[in-house]
Amino acid sequence: MRHHYATDPASFGRCRGFADAIGVDFKASTLNAGQDPTTVQSKVSAYLRNHPDTQAVLALGPLSTDPTIKALKQMGVTGKLWFATFDFDTNIAKAIQDGTIQFAIDQQPYLQGYIPVAVLAILKKDHTTDPVKIRQALEANPNFQARLSTYGFAPSYGPRNIGSGPGFINKENVDKVLKYADQYR
């Protein structure tokens, strides 16, 4: 695992959750590689040389993912390690397409803007604050369903909330995400 925001609690939470899920020691397996791409690449390469039993890598966004991709390619281990990341750029897209990265977690910013406005419109139109009724109205909206299908969005529905994500970008949907990148994705 590697992260680039050494003091950010959310970064630590993501790394700790990943470590817990795969059953490794969080402190021993987390690498603070900084934000300089050359330093990140060098530190990732050194870590992997010193820990040849590493089976998985988690990066926290393009600042750390792009140089990690370079490190893996330089070492000839692309596709041999399970690799996931947060956020998205064209290098991450290419790495998903070629099998270097299994998936990227996308915040789906379009939905972050759309869902709150749609919920407010439903509140006003239907005079309700009932989350079940709001969800039903949103799910019944053909325009919303068309946007989900066209742009490849996947909101998450809880008992009292409608979340904008996370969305997962993998080989099955990366081409659709690329098609709408910088527009809706």
The model's pLDDT over 59-111, given as tens digits with 9 standing for 90+, comes to: 988 999 999 999 999 999 998 999 999 988 999 999 999 999 999 998 888 99
- Rounded Cα distance, 149 and 163, in Å: 17
0.85 surpassed by pTM = no
- pLDDT over 70 at 147, yes or no: yes
Beta bridge partners of residue 3, listed in sequence order: 32
Q: How many angstroms separate the Cα of 96 from the Cα of each of 11, 60, 77, 136, 148?
A: 22, 15, 15, 34, 21
pLDDT band at 2 (very low <50, low <70, confident <90, very high): very low
